[in-house]
Structure 1
Amino acid sequence: MKDAVKRQNIEIPGGRITWKGYEEGIRTMGRIERVEEFNNLIVADYKGAPVRLIDIGYVVDGEEERRTLSRLDGNNAVSLLIRKQSGTNTVEVTDGVKQKLNSIKSLLPQDISIELVKDQSRFIKRAVSQVEEHLILGGVLASIIILFFIRNWRTALIAAVAIPTSIISTFTLMRYMGFTLNNLTLLALSVCTGIVVDDAIIVLENIYRHIEEEGKSPWDAAIKGTKEIALAVMATTLSLIVIFLPVAFMGGTVGRFWQSFGATATMAIGVSLLVSFTLTPMLASRLLRTPNKTNKYQSKESRVYNLLEKGYLSMLRWCLSHRLIVIILSIALFLSPVLIMQFLKGEFIVDDDMSEFEVIIETPPGSSLEKSDEIVQELEADLRKVDEVEHLFTTIGVRGQYQSNVTDISVYVGLKHLTERKRTQQQIMQEARAHLRKYSGLRISIQNINLVSGGGFRQTPFNLVISGPELEKLDEYSKTLIKRLSAIPGFVDTDTGQALRHPETQVHINRKKASDLSIKVDTIASSLRTMVGGEKVGLFREGDEQYNIRLRLMADYRKDAEQIANLTVPGIDGIQVRLSNITSLVSGTSPGQIDRYSQERQISVVSNLFGKPLGEAITQANSILKEMNMPATYVTSYLGRGKLMQEAFYNFMIAFVLSLIFIYLVLAAQFDSFIHPVTIMVSIFLSIPFGLLSLLIFGSTLNIYSVMGMFVLIGVVKKNAILVIDYTNTLRSRGIPIYEAQMEANKVRLRPILMTTLAIMAGLVPVAIGRGDGSASRASMAIAVVGGQALCLLITLLVVPVIYSVFDGAKNFLKKIFGLPNG
């Protein structure tokens, strides 16, 4: 029959004919044009009479065997998953798809509708909108801080102009670099909102001081004030840029993730330096006026500032008089991160509230499509009991990007937006787990949707791989680990990543009997594949469309193993031999898949986490593995987030070391000294404990966002030390003794330091307290900066002068011992 269909349904070229200078091709048009005509095909000759297909079977114009099913909110549906190509913009692709869908809708019947279920661009757009709001609000708050300190609207206006000027100018450079306005680049601009105005504040405050205290004209004050502060401003800005540059060039997956952030921050800070040396002095020379000496509302005369200044100078005098105590306390503070890290948990990334999650289910092996559908309908009813659930989209028979399997189910759960509900997404997911706990025979994973893959298959934050030579031992170790982890609060949906074994009927061939009857093994195998599984034997063309022709035994003759055993295969002289005479059918199982890791058999242990940072989960798992004392031939490793977290912190450590080296080189060149950069960098190491402490106080974790916040913190903290030391050196060069120079320098630089510090904090406060899409990850970065700045400001203002005086005393002592000249 197979040969008959193939030979009698063909269309092939037959060459060319040439006649009287004209050439044309010949084609044999042997294709069957109507489905019914297949029934009349002669497939054999029996005792001189033709046997037609209709005599032994029939042809059906049908459809392929159904292996998948989709349903949206209880209604049957056909799902279409669209993935963007690598390097393309998610929002642009999604908007283009939506436009096409709108044009298609008008062509559909009224009872057919198109619903957009999963749309990653919604979260991205809302997150970007949130960052834009934070960017604007941060700029406004930074401007208010300036106005509060100087109490002069002209001065506040000049400083505030630096923010939009720097940000807008950065847009041009971003376009040249090929960057878009996405979550990371906008976050970089939000972080830089307070930073870009720093240089303008420092220059402007120095200009204003010359007008206010020395009575200079705005023109002369702009020239002298800018020139006097230029070295310090350049040092602070360049030393901040060299912190972000290593981040922009970090390697690995996380490095590519942060590349646009680091580059955007670098460009914005570089532009702000240019603005502070050009636009700010120009505006100051034209807009500032000599203040009225009797104006009681000038900031230097304000009662609040006077109290701050007097209190700070009193503490500074005490510290300079008790340097040993300050040094001892500083050493203790420097070592305190060792203690803080015992309580601060680490993870790769914070899971944002996306108002959606998915339930991945695997039904018992051997379940049919109908059985899986029956199970999931009951499960959907339980999920609808959760108040915040808006949509349920179920897909049966799809296993992510792999093969189709009717036991694999994905249920997308759409929630009310976080602004419309009181509970968090994680709390809702935990309630869903409670509702589904009764399904003990199912493998269930309730998980966040991966923005990269789009979800549809099991992806958990905790993924431990055990590899070794013996599969039985691997299975034993994995079961022990799963049992131990499941008993620890916070580990949820803990299971093995190994696919379940699938039931099957195995056909064992008696080779001697088959050989005696001249039946080959491949004949048996191909016959079974054709009769039971079906085989493509040609194509049927209808108009411009082509359809597969599939040959298969009637369903009534292939229901069970007994019927399969009664099937026949051709033997010697065409004699049909029953399979039961040459084979035995045995029920068995086969592995769903065999996994290997580094060419070794492996089994993975996977788990979702609730209220447990990934770093803590890895620590607890490692402790259990140590107690299990597996042989050396069995090794463990982490995949997914665990591997990325280890890679990220390693790359961040390299970037941190490079940043310190670059900072020292920049400061050494600017100050023409090997000692002063060390003094300044003391503030970096004293700021780290406060950044970590602020994360601990506010319940955040050490993740890739908060680590980036630590980079920003050490960059802005050292600016205070640079300003103080630079002016101290300036005063000492005028012959003022070190003590008086330090007191005066710290007094003069107190106001710009407070202004710049509070401006940076004000710029990031909206990010730290914001509640919206993507706010959780951004907040951890802002908390590290804002909290670290607030806690360490006073300490660095007191410790840096003490370190300066200690180093200066040590230098004079060495000069005296070795008889070196001063200078």
Structure 2
Amino acid sequence: MNLSRIFIERPVATAVLTAGLCLFGLFAFGTLPVNELPSVDFPTLQVTANLPGADPETMARVVATPLEREFSTISGIDSMSSVSGSSSTRIALQFRLDRDIDSAAQDVQGAIASAMRRLPDGIDPPQLRKTNPADSPVLILALTAETLPLPELNEFADTRLTQRLSMLPGVAQVVVYGAQKYAVRLYLNPNALAQRNLGFDQVVEAVQEANSNRPAGIMDGAERAYAVTADADLKTAADFRDVIVAFQNGIPVRLKDIGRAEDSVENDKALSWFNGERSIILAVQRQPGANTVETVNGIREVFPEVRAQLPAGVELRVLLDRSEFVRASIHDVNFTLVLAIVLVSGVVLMFLSNLSSTLITVLILPTSVLGSFAVMHLLGYSLNNLSLMALTLAVGFVVDDAIVVLENISRHMQMGKDRLTAALDGTREIGFTVLSMTISLAAVFIPILFMAGILGRLFAEFAVTVGVAVLISGLISLSLTPMLCGLFLKSTRADGPVYRAFDALFERSRAFYGKSLQVAMGHRGSMLMASAAILVATGWLYTAVPKGFIPSQDTGTINGSTRAPEGTPFPELVKRQLALTEVVRANRNVESLMSTAGQGFGGVSGGNVGRIIVRLKPAADREASADEVIQELRRAARAVEGMELVLQNPPAIRMGSITGAGEFQVVLRGSDLTSLYPAAQAIEARLEALPMIEDVSSSLELANPEIQVHIRRERAASLGVSPQEIETVLGSAFGGSEISTIYGANDQYPVFIQLDSAFQRDVNALDALYVQSRMGRLVPLASIADIRQGVGPISIEHFGQLPSVTLSFNLGREQSIGAGLSAIREAMREALPSGISSVLSGSAKSFEESTRDLPILLGITVLVVYMILAILYEHLGHPLTILTALPLAGFGALVMLLLFDQELNMFSFVGIILLVGLVKKNGIMMVDFSLTLQREKNLPAEQAIVEACLVRFRPIMMTTMAAILATLPIALGYGAGGEARQPLGIAVAGGLLFSQFLTLYITPTFYVSLERFVQRLRMHASGRSSIHRRATTLNPPQGELQETKERRKSGL
């Protein structure tokens, strides 16, 4: 049966179908979204609840715990964690990847409604929003102003700019850092209140009554209707100063008599800077699956319109544009793809010395790639580093099928056949081989589609893209290739000194191979023992090679988290943050940076945290890589005392916790805080002593200064004061309670009340605080409560409803996560007390899961390939012969990783899986042709396999060289992000180089050994069968013997 006959005999139909595939591929290429990586969306929801004035312990006890208890009943939650700080609680709910996020959001909203009755009075309704921790902002903008007050700048950013950007296609949300929203703050003097016998509640009531914004109705007149309005609302701080709080002796007591009102901002404990200038920072997040490049282009297109509306002296600057790296990376991968096509075409030209065959190859390669684009479009995939890297790798082996067909047709033409006959006979002879190679190679990627978790989502596009490219190449090799050969292939070979020299070298190589193969056949036992030794060595190398996760890449950006000691006043935090900012800006490789104080990574707010995002100069203009700059900045930051700086090269996908400053996290949890906190401190100390990790930080901060008010309940009750009234006064004095709202034309602005700042600097100022009793008398707080100083946690975490502590860390330079986690497990095994458990979080958790699952995945891949080959050959032994090259390829890949100081990470492991499909092609070509010779010419196994190896030596060398050269640009780490792709290229190139030479000897020897073993089994089975037949004749069954005796007795 000749699968290619219909295509050879109908060239017009074949050409038209191919042209249609190419046109559809070109259309698809222009419409495919462009992103850095495949869209990976964690179904994650974040719930935020605010209770002004509440300390972390209160927030954890009365807010986080009731909400978590309700959330625990929702199905599909993979992990639940919370962090409770001063006045706020944030709960992160991460669902399983198969959970619909919209349905989950409805369940969470219902749980919030159910928990509201158990939450304290005065709490703001908890806010729910969808988040994707794996996605970073695609664009970070900075608004700076020389003269315009920041509240007015914030007004423009909040009401004009963010709304305009949020409406653009592809934009999910715009997050504002360092927001300076306008607010009015009322600062009260406790001594003035006491002199006038006024309490906080009277001031609050007076302000609320003075600032009213209720409808006054409509008056229907005789001839027209009138809308009735009243100027009962207040607009500015100046309006509040004249608010009458009370009348005493007929004289009004105004707010300005007992305090002051000032124009302020809503959050006066958060600031941001751009290159040292006060600014408002806008971080633009893209929608899931949106085109990063098109989204950023759409935003930049409105810049002229936005800048035309900017107030005088305001500038809009770009801090970070992720599309720049995506563009550069995609451009470099595209160049690598074109380079691979050129190199592969050169291999065909040198080996076949035939220009027409080279042109046919040049036509076939783009057709396979364009066909893959068409299928990617149908599947909703994007052009990203992984999918384009898949196509680059595919160039090296999709051409394998075409090379095998081309070489065989060329061989038949050299026998004197015309083009058409050679095409028909050549494809008939090689068709099953090509089919076997194509199906078995595509099957290699089937197990990847069933990978669980985030890695399965990440590499699914890679696997499908490669598999589709392989299947299309197989189809084209059996259709377009023989059709073009039948029309245009010429038997004349190119002549020239280079071609002649190459042909002479090749013929000498084949002659040497033939002689050495005969030697190997005479020492089959030694060859098999060497193969077994390589298999054992491969297993040892797997344990010796450093293990990694997803490799980092130099994107030109560095993320940093800063932290000052607990209890650092906000003005001092600002001073230290600015000092640290200047140190970072002084580095010669830094182009610009954004800095915040009072707001850390992931939106974590606190009086002692900050954040830095550094944009480096372009790679061509700087003297060091991102990792080297990090080391320089770490050393320079030590000059700023009392400030901890944690820097990291942002990972391709962040899977960390909501509080971890480092890339990797370990979470300790237990119900007994007296055991949990000391254990966390002990383990933190042990981790800091480990040489392979750095930037160890803990979420546990217990030295936050506190003022503890212990109410003397009996005394307070006797004076007519309740504990609730005491808490209300304390909340108003120090919590900054929101007591009223100003309604502007475009927004609403809060009004806060608190104690004057002069009375917040000294603990003894609490002696001046009074609480109004039910009888109207002012009772000194000191007379009904004991005031003590102490310390407490700055935040409290829960993980899975249990109190927890997160330890985060980064890896040291040239260190592997595998070695780091092994050392951490040993440290925790020695120091972790009973009742305290530990779990890995984020990237550390994903790494541990992958190292457990990937060997199983590799085993399943080999099993699937074996099963498919057994089905195709209807034989259980021949697939084993074909797969003898796998240990050799694995050995070569691991050795190359060690030699080039690379980790066995997710990319290089995918390269090893890819090798399973690549190296078996040589075995298929040898075994398939040998079986044909045994079947058609009745040759013995040894003679058949030797002849098959010599006949197939040229296509074997061609296909391997094509695959190596296609992989070479990736192995060299060319272009933006090339360092992340490099381990995959090195693994594939190393495996191909090593297995190429040994496979040519081990596979034939194994083939002959297996054939002789099968023959012995047959002879043994045949011998037992003949003995059984003779035994049956000499010893008839007992039934026949008894029947004979009876006949003799009866005389018959």
What TM-score results when the alignment is normalised by the length of structure 2?
0.74
Deviations 1:434-487 (A, max 9, x none): 222355633321212245569997442342233344434444444444444434
Cα shift at 1:781: 0.2
The corresponding residue for 2:971 is 768
Q: Is residue 2:531 matched to residue 1:338?
A: no
**Change in 2 beyond 3 A, CA 1:598/1:195:** same
CA offsets 1:681-734 (integer angstroms, 9 cap, x no match): 222233211111111111111000000010111110001000110000011111
Q: Do structure 1's residue 691 and structure 2's residue 893 form an aligned pair?
A: yes
Trace 1:316-355 onto structure 2 (pairs within 5 A). 316-355=517-556
Q: Which residue, 583, 587, 599 being the options, matches 1:398?
A: 599
Match of residue 155 from structure 2: none
Residue of structure 2 equivalent to 1:233:
434
1:282 to 479, 483, 486: 483
Question: Hey, what does 1:211 align to over in structure 2?
Answer: 413
Alpha-carbon distance between aligned partners in 1 of 2:771 and 2:597, rounded to the nearest angstrom:
36
Deviations 1:272-322 (A, max 9, x none): 111101111111111112337999987799210111101111121111111
- The letter for the 1-side match of 2:827 is I
Instruction: Please report how far the alpha carbon of residue 100 of structure 1 lies from its aligned counterpart in structure 2 after TM superposition.
Output: 2.8
Letter in 2 for 1:689: F
Q: AA paired with 1:326?
A: M
Contact 1:11 1:28 in 2 (8 A): no
The separation in 2 between residues aligned to 1:149 and 1:635, in whole angstroms, is: 62
Q: Which residue of 2 aligns with 1:706?
A: 908
Indicate whether 1:223 and 2:424 are aligned.
yes
- For the 8 Å contact 1:33–1:542, the answer to whether it is kept is no
Tell me, what secondary structure is at the counterpart of 2:282?
A: coil
Residues 495 and 9 from structure 1, CA distance in 2 versus in 1: closer, same or farther, beyond 3 angstroms?
Answer: closer
**How far off is 1:557 after superposition?**
4.3
| Aligned match of 1:635 | 837
The residue type paired with residue 671 of structure 1 is: Y
Other structure's SS at 2:695 match: strand
Residue in structure 2 matching 1:533, options 723, 730, 735: 735
Q: CA deviation at 1:779?
A: 0.6
Alignment partner of 1:12 is 2:214: yes
Structure 1 residue ranges without an equivalent (≥5): none
Partner of 1:563: 765
Aligned Cα RMSD in Å?
2.8
In the alignment, the residues of structure 2 paired with residue 31 and residue 87 of structure 1 have an alpha-carbon distance, to the nearest angstrom, of 49
Letter of the structure 1 residue corresponding to residue 819 of structure 2: E
Question: Is contact 2:595-2:612 (8 Å) kept?
Answer: yes
Counterparts of residues 777-792 of structure 1 (less than 5 Å): 777-792=980-995
Matched, 1:270 2:270: no
Larger displacement relative to structure 2 (284-293 or 569-578): 284-293
Alignment match of 1:753 (pick from 953, 956, 959): 956
1:192 is displaced (CA, Å) by 0.5
Aligned to 1:519: 721
Partner amino acid, structure 2, of 1:805: V
**Aligned pair 1:163/2:365, yes or no?**
yes
Percent of aligned positions that are identical: 29
User: Is 1:800 the equivalent of 2:998?
Assistant: no
The answer to whether the Cα contact below 8 Å between 1:90 and 1:121 also exists between their aligned partners in 2 is yes
Alignment map for 1:479-494 (pairs within 5 Å): 479-494=681-696
Q: Relative to structure 1, is the Cα distance of residues 78 and 697 closer, same or farther in structure 2, using a 3 angstrom cutoff?
A: same
Q: Quick check: 2:354–2:493 contact (8 Å CA) kept in 1?
A: no
- Aligned pairs, how many? 819
Q: Deviations over 1:504-550 (max 9, x none)?
A: 22222111111001111111111222233332222223434432233
Structure 2, unaligned stretches of length 5 or more?
Answer: 1-202, 1026-1052
Cα distance 1:480–1:61, how it changes in 2: closer, same or farther (>3 A)?
closer
State yes or no: 1:367 paired with 2:568.
yes
Q: Secondary structure at the match of 1:12?
A: coil
Give per-residue Cα distances to partners, 1:655-676, cap 9 Å, x unaligned: 3233223212221121121111
1:638 alignment partner AA: L
- 1:544 & 1:763 partners in 2: Cα distance? 59
Q: Distance in 2 between matches of 1:741 and 1:699?
A: 43
Query: Residue type of the partner of 2:862?
Result: L
Q: Which whole-Å CA distance do the structure 2 matches of 1:799 and 1:453 have between them?
A: 44
The one of 733, 736, 739 aligned to 2:935: 733
Question: For the Cα contact (< 8 Å) 2:266–2:750, is it kept in 1?
Answer: no
Q: Aligned to 2:951, what secondary structure does the other structure show?
A: helix
Verify the 8 A CA contact 1:691 1:710 in the aligned structure 2.
Answer: yes
Pair 388,12 (structure 1): closer, same or farther in 2 beyond 3 Å: closer
2-structure distance, mates of 1:93, 1:708: 31
Confirm or deny: 8 A CA contact 2:601 2:661 kept in the other structure. Answer: no
SS in 2 for 1:419: helix
CA contact (8 A) 2:742 2:750 kept: yes
Q: Deviations over 1:387-419 (max 9, x none)?
A: 322223211111233442232121222222333
C-alpha distance after superposition, 1:245-280 (max 9, x if no partner): 221332111110111111111111111111101111
| Counterpart secondary structure, 1:361 | strand
Structure 1 residues 29 and 403: alpha-carbon distance in aligned structure 2, compared to 1, 3 A threshold: farther
Deviation by residue 1:620-672 (Cα, 9 ceiling, x = unmatched) = 2233334x264443333322222111222334334323322321222112112
* C-alpha spacing 1:669/1:408, structure 2 compared with 1 (3 Å): same
Report SS of the residue matched to 1:367. Answer: coil
Q: Check the 8 A contact 2:557/2:650 in 1, yes or no.
A: yes
1:409 aligns with 2:627: no
Q: CA separation of 1:580/1:377 partners in 2, compared to 1, >3 Å: closer, same or farther?
A: same
Give the aligned partner of residue 425 of structure 1.
626
1:105–1:354 Cα change, 3 Å: same
Contact between 1:16 and 1:23, CA under 8 Å: does it hold in 2? Answer: no
For residues 440-455 of structure 1, the aligned pairs below 5 Å read: 441-452=642-653
Q: Residue in 1 aligned with 2:289? A: 87
Bigger mean CA deviation after superposition, 772-781 or 116-125: 116-125
Amino acid at match of 2:939: I
Which amino acid in structure 1 is aligned with residue 484 of structure 2?
A: L
Determine helix, strand or coil for the equivalent of 1:730.
helix
Q: Distance in 1 between matches of 2:230 and 2:618?
A: 61
CA spacing shift, 1:633–1:32, aligned 2, 3 Å: closer
Match of 2:16? none
- Mapped contact 1:300–1:306 kept (Cα < 8 A): no
2:816 pairs with 610, 613, 621, which one? 613
Q: What's the CA shift string for 1:138-188, capped at 9, x where partnerless?
A: 111111111111111111111222111100111111100001111111111
In structure 2, what is the equivalent of residue 258 of structure 1? 459
Q: Which of 97, 103, 114 is the matching residue for 2:316?
A: 114
Judge conservation of contact 1:236–1:719 (CA < 8 Å) in 2: yes
Amino acid at match of 1:381: E
- Superposed CA offset, 1:182-227 (max 9, x none): 1111111111011111111111111011001x21111111111111
Q: CA deviation at 1:356?
A: 2.2
State the 1:235 CA deviation: 0.7
CA deviations 1:39-89 (Å, max 9, x no partner) are 454432334554444544454444335222222222222211222233333
Task: Decide whether the 8 Å contact of 1:15 with 1:27 is kept in 2.
Answer: yes
Answer whether contact 1:150 1:298 (CA < 8 A) is retained.
no
CA distance in 1, matches of 2:697, 2:897: 32
Structure 2 counterpart of 1:671: 873
Matching residue of 2:710? 508
Q: Which residue of 2 aligns with 1:311?
A: 512
Q: State which of 450, 454, 461 in structure 1 corresponds to 2:663.
A: 461
Aligned equivalent of 1:199: 401
Aligned match of 1:653: 855
Q: Does structure 2 retain, via aligned residues, the 8 Å contact 1:162–1:196?
A: no
Q: 1:296 to 1:541 in 2, by over 3 A?
A: closer
* Residue 744, structure 1, aligned to residue 925, structure 2: no
1:81 and 1:450, CA in 2 relative to 1: closer, same or farther beyond 3 A?
Answer: farther
Structure 1 letter corresponding to 2:594: F
Distance in structure 2 (CA, Å) of the matches to 1:622 and 1:544: 55
In the aligned structure 1, how far is the partner of 2:844 from the partner of 2:604?
26
Native 8 Å contact 1:141 1:759 kept in 2: yes
Q: Which of 602, 620, 625 is the aligned partner of 2:804? A: 602
CA contact (8 A) 1:151 1:297 kept: no
Decide whether aligned partners of structure 1 residues 169 and 99 sit closer, same or farther in structure 2, where only a CA change above 3 A counts.
same
